[in-house]
Amino acid sequence: MEDKLEVSFNSPQCGWMSIGLQGASGEFRTTTAYAPHKNALAELMDALAEMALGGSEFSRTLKWNRDPEEYDFVLIRSGDSATLEVFEYPTSARDPENRELVFSHTGNARQTASAFFETFRQLFEEKGVDDFRENWHQEFPYAAYENLQRSLSA
């Protein structure tokens, strides 16, 4: 049976955003800050778009932070399968010896990207209601969102 991934990104508030990931192997929930990795949301969308398009091999590591903790979101594609790993570092030093794997999911690459897209679609639809720009201290990443949408439509 395929491991289904559920993803949630709640509307940002005061520069913080709640993130949730859940699969058959467990769940991960945290809040992340918009800085210092200001392009993290757009980079995640772009990485998911690239992963969804295909090709046999793909690997990308994205940095997120919580303060003082930091996270790496690692996306790996091999054939049609994708693995998402989330590593937590206790500080911004990002010492590989002190990192901990806090979430892992393996499933179909397009389905994984689609799970993220669904929550990004909700963020996009609510961006005016919750004043995304004011609350995330930057614009919604329209270009990356559209890129992901095109990749999943291809």
Distance CA 41, CA 152 (A): 17
What domains sit in the chain, N to C, each tagged with a CATH number? Answer: 6-153 (3.30.2450)
Q: What pLDDT does 2 receive?
A: 59
Burial class (CB in 10 A: 0-12, 13-18, 19+), 10: middle
Plot region of 14 (φ>0 → left; ψ -120 to 50 → alpha; else → beta): left
pTM of the complete model:
0.94
pLDDT exceeds 50 at position 67: yes
Tell me what the pLDDT averaged over the chain comes to. 93
What are the tens digits of pLDDT across the range 2-16?
Answer: 579 999 999 999 999
